[in-house]
């Protein structure tokens, strides 16, 4: 089963048991607090993840990601966790602008 390594959360490793759901769902199912202001509908960028490795296994940008990329709200190495499924191992980080004040991040 593919895994998610979240670098700036103490290298937290999450094993994704359901490859048909979003990366955001896998993160939440592992009891990790990850922002998603629009309810995981691809209407904002609060669930964006910085992808350090494994981005090549993602599907092409969703319509929402294409829109946000054109607006300059997503960099080349950023994807929306609500819009992508885990097919292979990935290493990600919480985007700086989306960090919760109550959590301890590493970097």
For 71-107, the pLDDT digits (tens) are 999 999 999 999 999 999 999 999 999 999 999 999 7
Domains, the chain, with CATH or none: 3-96 (3.10.20.30)
Share of the chain above pLDDT 70, in %: 100
pLDDT at 17: 84
Residue written as token pair 């004040």:
101
Give the three-state DSSP class for 53. Answer: strand
Average pLDDT, the chain: 95
Parallel/antiparallel/unpaired status of strands 90-94 and 78-80: unpaired
Instruction: Give me 63's structure tokens.
Output: 């319509």
The DSSP symbol for 87 reads S
pLDDT at 18: 82
Instruction: Give me 87's structure tokens.
Output: 């097919």
pTM score, two decimals?
A: 0.95
């Amino acid at each position: 089963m593919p895994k998610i390594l979240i670098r700036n959360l103490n290298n937290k490793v999450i094993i994704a048991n359901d490859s048909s759901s979003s990366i955001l769902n896998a993160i939440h199912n592992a009891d990790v607090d990850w922002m998603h202001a629009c309810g995981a509908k691809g209407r904002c960028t609060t669930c964006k993840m910085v992808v350090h490795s494994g981005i090549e296994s993602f599907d092409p940008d969703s319509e929402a990601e294409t829109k946000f990329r054109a607006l300059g709200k997503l960099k080349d190495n950023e994807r929306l966790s609500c819009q992508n499924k885990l097919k292979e191992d990935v290493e990600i980080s919480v985007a700086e602008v989306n960090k919760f004040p109550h959590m301890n991040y590493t970097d």
